[in-house]
Amino acid sequence: MDVSVGQRQLQEFSLASVSELASSASTSASTASLPAIAHFFADCGCGSSQLRLQRENESSYFASLHLGTSHLFKLGPVQSVCVDEGSNACNEKSYSRAFTLLFNKEKDSRDFHYSFEQWKKDVNQGSNLPDRIIPSSKSKFDEKIESSSAKMYFHYYGQLLHQQNMLQDYVRTGTYYAAVMENRDDFSGRVVVDVGAGSGILSLFAAQAGAKHVYAVEASEMAEYARKLIAGNPHLGDRITVVKGKVEEIELPEKADILISEPMGTLLVNERMLESYVIARDRFLAPEGKMFPAAGRIHMAPFSDEYLFVEIANKALFWQQASYYGVNLTPLHESAFQGNYSQPVVDAFDPRLLVASPVFHVIDFTKVKEEDLYEIDIPLKFIAAVGTRVHGLACWFDVLFNGSTVQRWLTTAPGAPTTHWYQLRCVLSQPLYVMAGQEITGRLHMIAHNAQSYTIHLTLSTKMWGPGAEQGGILQTSSGKLDLKEPYYRMSQSQAYTVPQDQHQSLQPQDVNIPIHDTEESEPLEQLPQNSGSHFS
């Protein structure tokens, strides 16, 4: 329980019993093994923090331990010993003392240990507040992310509406549920950390699968809702501790056997939360521990879509007016035209629009270094399956739950059941002409920026084709610079995309047998999740 009293921060725990380890200075009241209440106090009058012990139904404290000089050791699931080395704090000399603490439940013991470590960390860093969101020294998160971006980001995730949008993506949530339940052995009796727990749903799944204990780490105000949801499911909640804070900043009392998280944004990497997942791995995962998911792949293929190309070009037509209330708007036409192409398009498209077999880039979450995600450079090489105009690069991702029992992929591929991520297309303002069998080369170069997203540099080129091609070089090149943070959500368009007749005749895309995903069956486009205007995740 947390209470705020005036300037002081006070946190209290009920203990089944507390007894002082015998010393000459101890009184009979403190050595007796009786129920007690432990209070964490910030600022006991001289600026230092204390752990104070009080017998139930008594108004005074029988012991005060200075957190700066105290250490807590676990003796068993519900038993710990707390040792204060003694100090000169508060201008008075105190001698070393030790207390055996017996908790009512294992969860109480974990919560107490967690709070103890938090308060101690605060003392060491010179702050008196536990669960601090802003540390005295900048965390890895704060070093690389602009504070205004982080503020908006956590404000967004702090709202139930947006968590509901993710929960109502049944492809997403159902795949997580299946992956956890099918792999109970990976969770049963294990310590789990849920990285970015949101509403706490994945923590509850892990507890359902028999986790020994789950630490649900959530930085936004959603942590309070997660506490509420978890408390409302007491048979599971008993094994879950919600930790409010960033994974880059919080401390946990023990290592995890398995991390569970849903850190994927549009194009897998948007939001830069994968970096937090990797940081959590390095900070909290025991050697040989598992990650759910363990890997992700970005899939890419060139596409042809005259409708989309024209639609984007036409958006700038407004700026071609020579007399808008008597004002010539045309000087801004070119800027508006280019600006529209700098927005990656997010929607669900028909996979028949792909003009070549996709390639993929793997990110192994268990091995990748956090810094490796700052810049992602993917060389591209395709063979066009049809003769057509190429309008850009289509991208989607999947992630792997590498369970000990069952391996399961969550895919966002076109043609597969639609998720709230849809797919993403980078449209080039200058299309390329290709012939069937012609090689398309290029590069997708993504550079992370401090607004939790990436600048995308895309280049596609067509190579010489046919007899004598080996002597030839690049025929045509088209490039674009896009901001992944500013997508164009194209959800109002018809989802059952009809390929125009003339395109059918020239491309015959239905003849192209393109394998779009490896393990899951392709199904026709399904209903879209609610609230399709989501701008994160």
Which is closer to ligand SAM, CB of 259 or CB of 384? 259
Which is closer to ligand SAM, CB of 206 or CB of 427? 206
State the pairing for strand pair 488-489/34-41.
unpaired
Q: Helix, strand, or coil here: 514?
A: coil
Catalytic positions are: 262, 271
Q: What phi, psi does 288 have (nearest 5°)?
A: 75, 5
Is 149 exposed, middle or buried, given 0-12, 13-18 or 19+ CB atoms closer than 10 A?
A: middle
CB of 286 to ligand SAM, least distance (A): 20
CB of 231 to ligand SAM, least distance (A): 18
CA dihedral 219, 225, 227, 232 (to 10 degrees): -160
CB neighbour burial string for 124-148, b if at least 16 within 10 angstroms, e if fewer: eeebbebbbeebeeebbbbebbeee
Residue nearest to ligand SAM (CB): 196
CB of 132 to ligand SAM, least distance (A): 13
Which tokens sit at 175? Answer: 């795949």
Which is closer to ligand SAM, CB of 222 or CB of 308? 222
**Cβ count within 10 A of residue 168:** 13
Q: Measured between alpha carbons, how far is 184 from 485 in angstroms, rounded to an integer?
A: 37
Q: Side-chain half-sphere of 22: how many Cα atoms within 13 Å?
A: 0
Residues forming beta bridges with residue 239, ordered by sequence position: none
Which is closer to ligand SAM, CB of 349 or CB of 396? 396
Q: Helix, strand, or coil here: 3?
A: strand
Which is closer to ligand SAM, CB of 385 or CB of 410? 410
Q: Measured between alpha carbons, how far is 379 from 361 in angstroms, rounded to an integer?
A: 9
Q: Measured between alpha carbons, how far is 8 from 129 in angstroms, rounded to an integer?
A: 9
Q: Measured between alpha carbons, how far is 240 from 226 in angstroms, rounded to an integer?
A: 10
Cβ(300)–Cβ(359) below 8 Å: yes
CA distances from 462 to 112, 265, 354 (A): 63, 30, 16
Q: Measured between alpha carbons, how far is 255 from 79 in angstroms, rounded to an integer?
A: 19
Which tokens sit at 154? Answer: 């956590």
Beta strands, E only, 6-119 = 8-20, 34-41, 50-55, 61-66, 70-76, 79-84, 97-102
CB of 531 to ligand SAM, least distance (A): 14
Which is closer to ligand SAM, CB of 158 or CB of 431? 158
Which is closer to ligand SAM, CB of 198 or CB of 431? 198
CB of 351 to ligand SAM, least distance (A): 26
Which is closer to ligand SAM, CB of 56 or CB of 372? 372
Q: Measured between alpha carbons, how far is 314 from 111 in angstroms, rounded to an integer?
A: 58
Which is closer to ligand SAM, CB of 260 or CB of 460? 260
Q: Measured between alpha carbons, how far is 191 from 290 in angstroms, rounded to an integer?
A: 11
Cis peptide before 293 (omega within 30 of 0): yes
Q: Helix, strand, or coil here: 440?
A: strand
Which tokens sit at 506? Answer: 């020239």
Which is closer to ligand SAM, CB of 132 or CB of 463? 132
Q: Measured between alpha carbons, how far is 23 from 513 in angstroms, rounded to an integer?
A: 81
CB of 377 to ligand SAM, least distance (A): 25
DSSP state of 450: T
Residues that bind ligand SAM (CB under 6 A): 141, 154, 157, 166, 196-199, 201-202, 217-220, 222, 246-248, 262, 273, 276, 537
Residues forming beta bridges with residue 260, ordered by sequence position: 194, 292
Q: Helix, strand, or coil here: 351?
A: helix
